[in-house]
Amino acid sequence: IGMAVDANVLINERIREETAKGTALRMAIKLGYERAFRAILDSNITTILTCVILYMVGSEQVKGFGLTLGVGVFINIFTAYFVTRLFFEFMSMISIPREVIRFPFYAAATIAGVGVAFIGLSYLMNKPEDLHESVARGFGFALLIDVAPAIVVAMGLMYLFRTMHHGKKELPMMKFIGVPKIDWVSKRRVFYAISGAMILCGAAAGFSLKADQIMDIEFLGGTSAQLELVENNTFDKGDKAEDIPTQITQRLDAAAENLKTFADQVKNAQVTDADGVVKLTSGVPAIRLEPVILDELGDQLSTAEPFRYDDAGSGEVTLFLRDPKTPTADEIKKRLSDRLTRAALAITGAQVQTNSAFEDAGEAGKSYTVVTRETSKEIVVSAILDKMEDDLRIKPALAFTMVHDPDTNDPYFPITQTDPRALGLTLSDEAAAAIDLTNWQGGVAIALDHLTPPQPLSTLRDRLKAMRLQPGFEEFGWRESDVFGLERPSGAAAGDEELYSKVLIVVADENVSLLASDQGDNMSVWQASLAEPEVKLIQAALQRQQSLEQVTQFDTQVSGESQIQAGLALALSWLLIIGYVWIRFGNVRWGLAAVSALIHDVLIALSAVAFTYYIAQKMPALGSLLMIDKVFRIDLPMVAALLTVVGYSVNDTIIVFDRIRENRGRQSEVTVDMVNDSINQTLSRTVLTLLTSIITVFVMYVFGGEGIHSFNYVLLVGLLIGTYSSVGIASQFLLRRAQLSKA
């Protein structure tokens, strides 16, 4: 939205220049479009190159952003150069041909007629009670009520304005800035000093921070956990209380303090070592020490029985080592103590966001996402349970027995027919009638009996669906599945919630189907790829107590790849821009000048991100004024913002470069006067485009919500710096040293 007006501004500025020279209106419009086309094309293609990089290397959200921006740029070029030109041609005609008058009204009448046809069709094809859901009816009313009248209103407005300006042979255009006479080149030392100071201050701010103070989990590794609170939780909901996310952060900080205390206790613990059996007496509850032991020492413990303790609150844990000689008792104490300290630092200051965009009346949103820099999901879960266990909606572990196929003794049944009785299960007539296996042939059926406690089918579906998103089962996330009720618990009243003690779970995968070929080797593939993994998934989803909705881990290898990916995205975008500008302007100097300004813009934008740490932590009053209430961390959306800044800045720079090329004509060298004149001639367009973009980004920054707050912050800074560099930095690099020395 912010950039879409840029092409129109370029065209209008060119028309204004031509009319100022005394050119006739229709000729001014023709020349304005012709002379603006090259600048529009070059500037937008460089933006499209950035979009390609965003789509190639970005996350799913960033890919969507890049795709939307790229498609928008294509549509923008088309509408600016072709659609608006039709309007100009129509408005500037001395007399309008009759067919030009008739055609829009014929089109409006035709569209209205098509709308009526769709509405009539919807009445024929739908029952009266289903009409409100009819797509044909909605589409018909849209054509009849929205599109057709819009055409008539647009034509009416155009005739109105033609009448108002009838007889005028010029197009009145207000001058916002005009063409100033500023010697930009002579002020280059001031610009260099300002830019150098900003970059040096930003570098000092950035290098004074540790990586975990400025980077998010995509670049450091970490864990994201989704939790759901019970309605009667213990969080303070008073008028003067902090919001729930802040209170969750405070509780996690308290859990981190506990981890620091545990680290001291382990450091001073009593240890005995007898032939690979290490008894650690620290006073730390065993249930809290268990995830740390597994994370730090798991690969050095016995696979049969890694450790043992009497109960969850026991302060004594016995470890069984694979190698009796390593690690030593003192090494175990030190490693566990250091690991607890690192975990405490990583969990401190966790980010918490509300998942619900809307809140139920009288009740705050109950689902939240916690993001920490701790890479062990087990340690994160333990810390959350340490301070919030009683407030979480916990899904209990379920007990059940899997019904085995009497022919194969496997805990699953192949679905080869649509009749559920063909599975070999004992089914009541009511249960058999409720099961339709038409869409599940070739899949697997798994029956659970004696389900304790009995569960609603919706709960079982949700738990199975959530497990498909967990590590180890992500590759099965797209499989279709369903749950059918077979038996209700004895004594269940008709009005009770529909709980079931026996259910049938069906899963189908079109890539692993018994119907694909004969059951020979295909059966073994079906068992290994579909049936057995689904049994494991069901056991994991239902036999474990679940206190958190979803836990996602970003390990250090993935974060390292993300850093490389982000760096490659920036470098590749710069190389593509150098190549394109070199080809279009005939000299690599133009491409290097453009990219020098882009590097300048990215460095200052990153400096602005580093400053948010000091503003949020050290200057809360200023932070509140600037809406910087927390540190903006570098994440993948922020990389997308930097690439967007690159696209905007090079767009701005190429507009100036295009005017320099035009003013140079056939001369071999760019002169100081050419640079100054070109910047001054395009300054009005530069400021107008900046204002339209800034208005859009500012609205998003203020009202866009927390999810895109840091993204818009980088855009806001980047737009200002990109405009400044196009005027004060990039064009100066086109001049040779001998020319600069005379300026």
CA atoms within 13 A on the CB side of 9: 21
Per-residue confidence (pLDDT) for residue 365, from 0 to 100: 47
Is residue 110 within a helix (H) or strand (E), and if so which, with residue range?
helix 98-125
Whole-number Å distance between alpha carbons of 117 and 320: 79
Instruction: Decide: helix, strand or coil at residue 319.
Output: strand
Residue with tokens 């250090």: 556
Whole-number Å distance between alpha carbons of 214 and 634: 6
| Mean per-residue pLDDT, 17-30 | 86
567: pLDDT confidence band, cut at 50, 70 and 90? Answer: confident
97: pLDDT confidence band, cut at 50, 70 and 90? Answer: confident
The answer to whether the CB of 552 falls within 8 A of the CB of 217 is: no
Which tokens belong to 151? 């055409």
Which tokens belong to 547? 């206190």
Please give the C-alpha separations between residue 369 and each of 366, 387, 570, 631, in angstroms, as whole numbers: 10, 16, 30, 18
- Which value, to the nearest 10 degrees, does the dihedral of the CA atoms of residues 664, 670, 672, 676 take? 50
pLDDT digits (tens, 9 = 90+) for 61-94: 677 778 888 898 888 888 888 888 888 888 887 7
Scanning 630-671, the segments in alpha helix (DSSP H) are 636-664
Per-residue confidence (pLDDT) for residue 565, from 0 to 100: 73
**Weakest-pLDDT range from 173-187, 241-255, 442-456, 721-735:** 173-187
pLDDT digits (tens, 9 = 90+) for 206-254: 898 888 778 877 777 788 888 888 888 888 877 666 788 889 999 999 9
The answer to whether the CB of 416 falls within 8 A of the CB of 477 is: no
Which tokens belong to 298? 């798991």
Return the higher-pLDDT residue of 565 and 70: 70
Whole-number Å distance between alpha carbons of 669 and 497: 84
Does 505 score more than 70 pLDDT?
A: yes
Instruction: Decide: helix, strand or coil at residue 449.
Output: strand
First to last CA, the chain: 39
DSSP tag of 143:
I
Does 570 score more than 80 pLDDT?
A: no
Does 139 score more than 90 pLDDT?
A: yes
Structural domains in the chain, CATH included, are 5-164 (no CATH), 185-215+557-742 (1.20.1640.10), 244-391 (no CATH), 399-546 (no CATH)
The answer to whether the CB of 104 falls within 8 A of the CB of 158 is: no
Query: Which span out of 42-46, 259-263, 511-515, 545-549 was modeled with the highest average pLDDT?
Result: 259-263
The answer to whether the CB of 393 falls within 8 A of the CB of 230 is: yes
- Determine if residue 501 is left, alpha or beta; phi over 0 gives left, psi from -120 to 50 gives alpha, anything else beta: alpha
Other Cβ atoms within 10 Å of 141 Cβ, number = 15
Per-residue confidence (pLDDT) for residue 608, from 0 to 100: 93
pLDDT digits (tens, 9 = 90+) for 510-547: 888 887 655 456 788 899 899 999 999 999 889 877 76
Per-residue confidence (pLDDT) for residue 165, from 0 to 100: 74
Count Cβ atoms within 10 A of the Cβ of residue 387 and give its class: 0-12 exposed, 13-18 middle, 19 or more buried.
middle
Which tokens belong to 498? 């529909």
| Mean per-residue pLDDT, 503-508 | 95
Residue with tokens 């009202």: 703
Which tokens belong to 409? 């003794």
- 322-330 CB contacts, 8 Å cutoff, 24+ apart: 322/276, 323/276, 324/275, 324/276, 325/276, 326/300, 327/297, 327/300, 328/273, 329/271, 329/272, 329/273, 329/278, 330/271
Peptide bond into 453 cis (omega under 30): yes
Which tokens belong to 418? 């649509």
Q: Calculate what percentage of the chain has a pLDDT beyond 90.
A: 28
Residue with tokens 């990583």: 346
Give the residue among 438, 444, 527, 516 at the shortest CA–CA distance from 479.
Answer: 444
Whole-number Å distance between alpha carbons of 90 and 219: 55
Q: Calculate what percentage of the chain has a pLDDT beyond 70.
A: 92
Whole-number Å distance between alpha carbons of 281 and 266: 8
Whole-number Å distance between alpha carbons of 638 and 641: 5
Query: Which span out of 111-115, 556-560, 630-634 was modeled with the highest average pLDDT?
Result: 111-115
Give the residue among 444, 448, 459 at the shortest CA–CA distance from 523.
Answer: 444
| Mean per-residue pLDDT, 3-19 | 84
494: pLDDT confidence band, cut at 50, 70 and 90? Answer: low
The answer to whether the CB of 351 falls within 8 A of the CB of 370 is: yes
Query: Which span out of 266-270, 323-327, 468-472 was modeled with the highest average pLDDT?
Result: 266-270
Per-residue confidence (pLDDT) for residue 364, from 0 to 100: 45
The answer to whether the CB of 714 falls within 8 A of the CB of 638 is: yes
Per-residue confidence (pLDDT) for residue 199, from 0 to 100: 93
The answer to whether the CB of 136 falls within 8 A of the CB of 122 is: yes
Other Cβ atoms within 10 Å of 432 Cβ, number = 15
Asked whether the CA dihedral 231, 236, 240, 242 is positive or negative, the reply is: negative
Per-residue confidence (pLDDT) for residue 357, from 0 to 100: 43
pLDDT digits (tens, 9 = 90+) for 146-180: 999 999 998 888 888 877 776 666 677 777 777 88
Whole-number Å distance between alpha carbons of 32 and 16: 8
Q: Which residues of 302-313 are buried (b: 16+ CB within 10 A; e: fewer)?
A: eeeebbebeeee
Whole-number Å distance between alpha carbons of 460 and 498: 12
Work out the mean pLDDT of the chain and round it to a whole number.
Answer: 85
733: pLDDT confidence band, cut at 50, 70 and 90? Answer: confident
Instruction: Decide: helix, strand or coil at residue 369.
Output: strand
CA atoms within 13 A on the CB side of 437: 23
Residue with tokens 């996690």: 252
Per-residue confidence (pLDDT) for residue 738, from 0 to 100: 59
Does 368 score more than 50 pLDDT?
A: yes
263: pLDDT confidence band, cut at 50, 70 and 90? Answer: very high
Whole-number Å distance between alpha carbons of 174 and 566: 44
The answer to whether the CB of 407 falls within 8 A of the CB of 244 is: no
Which tokens belong to 199? 């970059």
| 3-state DSSP of 264-288 | HHHHCCEEEEECCEEEEECCCCHHH
The answer to whether the CB of 425 falls within 8 A of the CB of 413 is: yes
CA atoms within 13 A on the CB side of 559: 20
Please give the C-alpha separations between residue 253 and each of 256, 259, 550, 613, in angstroms, as whole numbers: 5, 10, 21, 19
358: pLDDT confidence band, cut at 50, 70 and 90? Answer: very low
Whole-number Å distance between alpha carbons of 214 and 374: 15
Q: Say which amino acid occupies 265.
A: Q
Q: Which residues of 43-76 are buried (b: 16+ CB within 10 A; e: fewer)?
A: bbbbbbbbbebbbebbbeebeebbeebbeebeeb
| Mean per-residue pLDDT, 90-116 | 86
| Mode of pairing for the β-strands spanning 413-414 and 444-452 | antiparallel
